[in-house]
Structure 1
Amino acid sequence: MIKYAGLIVMLLLGLGLGLGLGFWLGQQRPMQTSAIPAVAERKPLYYHHPMNPQVTSPTPAKDDMGMDYLPVYPEDQSTPEAKPQSGKILYYRHPMGAPDTSPVPKNDEMGMDYLPVYESEPESSGQIRISPEKIQKLGVTAETVAKRTLTRSIRALGSIQVDERRVHAVTPRFEGWIQRLHVNATGQAVKRGQALLDSYSPALMTAQQEYLIARQGQQMLQQGSAQAQDTAAQLTENALQRLRYWDIAPAQLQRLKTQQKTLDSLPLLSPVNGVVVEKPAIEGMRFMPGELLFRIADLSEVWLLAEVFEQDIGGVRPGQAVQISINAYPERVFSGKVGFIYPTLATETRTVKVRVELPNADGLLKPGLYGSVTLTTSAEGDKCLAIPDSALIDSGVRQVVLLQKDQGRFEPRAVKLGQQADGYYEVLEGLAEGDEVVTRANFLIDAESNLKSALDSFNKQGADTRQATHEKQHGGH
């Protein structure tokens, strides 16, 4: 009995020790059912353009094609372990990633050394390498950036007009009637001194009689005293001067002196060679002093009024030589010069009127004819850095050229341009003299460069997504 009691006590002690040990082990290891701690969500530092990593934004954005900017995380900014480079140094690049390279070592504006780029180094962002076979197949050509004098041609349309300074109005200085019209049609050509009409005027008849009487009195007093002769001569001269004031031609006055009798009608003469452009005069009508009877235009020199666009007006100067093509005479080229630039701009057409003066001795340039004007201008000052207009890739948002490097490498370069002239653009920023810019097949290279940049960006974005998914799945282990 005592033996069985001892056995039972030992079993109870063993069971107690087992339960105590199990409880202690359970406290030392966490429960398998406890929750897995959540992986902290990564916060981007900034976002960059999917095609151009140098264009950044602090917030999510889209480019002009609707593509999302790509996030850049802190771990993306970590500097990878530098690997020793070997081979030939191709060039030196800007330490901050600016689109600037140098064939020799140099420092940037902050004193930082430019970084060498070796043959074995992968292509920098934005650059693309093309094999010689593909370059030949694409027909790539390049031109050296150099300084040149830019000559531009400005073209404008206009019409022939009468020279306002060569228009003459024929107006009488006395009252009278038109007895006969010698020039009775608008457009009729007239010569200087040609009779336009014959007029009758009672006032002129009276003035003629006064002159003849004064002249006869002067002749009668030839044997009189000196004072009487002087008085008679003065009266005669006053009467003659009155006739001159009324614009009586010298030939008619000489006729009056010779015939010693009044003239029933007096002609009104043309003051210039020209064409009658207006003729209110009608045979038999009464006219008053100052009334317009004829308007005559001298067409030996005419104007062409050209409409020059506001972006071109800065290149126009008075005195510039001008070449004119008239629609009526396509086989001929007329020459003239800029006479005046009008001070106002037409808001409807955004043009400024420019007056071109043209000789017209043969009378071919008739008022109303249409023509085109070509002005050749040269850039002011010294020669400027210039690139061919075929080298420019203009998307409307950016202006880019492709630099041709060695080893079949091409690099896009943003530029700031000035005026365009003679097939060239003035370069204000972005290029240096001696750079090689692609002038042919540049759009194909640019398209391939953009595709390469886009694929690199998409691959990077995919890698970031896979890394984040992996961290979420294995964050608790």
Structure 2
Amino acid sequence: MNKNILYIGIAVIVGLLGGWLIFGNSGSDANANKDLSDMSDSHDHSGETASQMWTCSMHPQIMQPEAGDCPICGMDLIPAESGAEGLAVNEIKMTENAMALANIQTTVVGSGTISEDDGMISLSGKIATNEENNSVQASYFDGRIERLNVNFEGQKVNRGQLLATIYAPNLVAAQQELITTASLKESQPALYKAVRNKLKNWKLSESQINAIESSGKVRDNFPVYATVSGTVSMVMAAEGDYVKQGQPILKVSNLNSVWAEFDAYENHISELKKGQKIKVMTNAYPNKEFDAAVSFIDPILNNATRTVIVRATLKNTDDIFKPGMFVTGKIQGTMDMNETLLTVPASAVMWTGERSLVYLKTNPNEPIFEMREVTIGNRNGDSYTITKGLQNGDEIVTNGTFTVDAAAQLQGKKSMMNKRMEDDKMMAMTDMEMKLPAAFQTDFKKALVPYLKMKDAFVASDAGQVSAFAKATLKELKSIDKSSSDQMVSQHHTKSMEMLEAIVSNDDLKSQRSHFVILNENMVAITMNIDNAGEILYVQKCPMANNNKGAVWLSSEKVILNPYYGDAMLSCGSVIEEIK
């Protein structure tokens, strides 16, 4: 009995403990879940969703608030990083992390007065032989070289030194004539004198001629002597060669004076003039400076390097300078020594061949940058002078410039490779005002009818139809009376006809499309100046056409049907102008 009561008591206690553990924890979980629910309710995610933007990997300038297709190429959009608010159209903002990882550094631009060193123009070049002192040692008669005494470049020769021995059949016959006429010199002095003169013309000396006459013996081989002293710069014959009269055997350079030829960029040309003093230095003698003067400035610019040759003549009696040796020159420019200028480190400037660019920090408290085009002056060591584009106190990127440019390019902003404030050609077309006579406008509208059909043929990639409609468009343009039109209109009209003729005469679709690019540049320019086109026309553009330079065309429909790619990329493009 007592045992049963004890077991029952233990069972009650265990049951109560188990119930507390189960229901107590459930209550805590419920409270925890309630707390989480409250936190979820109180935290608003709408801001995160609203700020998410979508972009195209090939056209980063596209930014849309929701997922979809790229309006230019049709590719799926990808999530883009949230853009910084309050930025100008071509400003970019970088994170502090990105700045630190790329080691991006900035410097405040300061002005100063031009010192003598700042006015110096640094040039690089090479030592060349003085062509005024070059001479050629030639054979004076036909023959075979039996022995060549000077046979390698760099060998020094002196005037009167034996250069070669030549077997000359004609000279053998002339010697026999001399011996024969020597016995007749009293009776036929004119004949005797003529034979001697023939030998003199072959550069035989008086002593040689007298020796032949007195000995009465004919020599088979004749020597050739050096007429100048110098260094052999080229061997132009070998032993055993048959040479003609006047044929070069050796080229000899006198290195007592040499030329220092420097390459000067075209922005330095205005500061150079003949007679200017120039200091020449070479790595072979790093602690020496040699004084010279500019003796020649090439009047022709090298199109490939955009440089001109600037030459100075150097004395070389001690044989210091060797042809081919690299040299540097410093020449004082003509800028005013009292002028103030801005100098920036060379690492800050990006040069594209046409433009010089820097990145300006537009906000002193935040890493916000914008590309700026500048005009550079002279380079002095590791710095450039800036003549236009910056002001005293501007802060620019001096280390990591290309990293900033890459970030701008990825965000579709103006950059070194993407000069995209607006399309230059489109801006030119918009700003180009032309006076079109009423009769010209009426006739030009007729040409637009077959033009639009030609555009559709390009969309269909039908070269035959393209040629047919191009011919019809050309016929309409030829019928236009442009006598009362201004010169600009006439030029666009003429260029349009040239391109149409090229399209008509060509059955290669790729070639037709290349001419279609130039045709459209002219047709669009005229169409945008028509008072009433009769219907709405759309100027459309594909940024990938024309080798990624972009190309435009006219369409009567707003929907994009790309004539430059056809089915390969039918929807690539966008409407950039509407002509009503």
More helix by share: 2
Structure with greater strand share of residues: 1
Larger Rg over CA atoms: 1
| Structure-1-length-normalised TM-score | 0.48
Please give the TM-score of this superposition, normalised by the length of structure 2: 0.40
Looking at both structures, which has the greater relative contact order when contacts are Cα pairs under 8 Å and sequence separation is at least 6?
A: 1
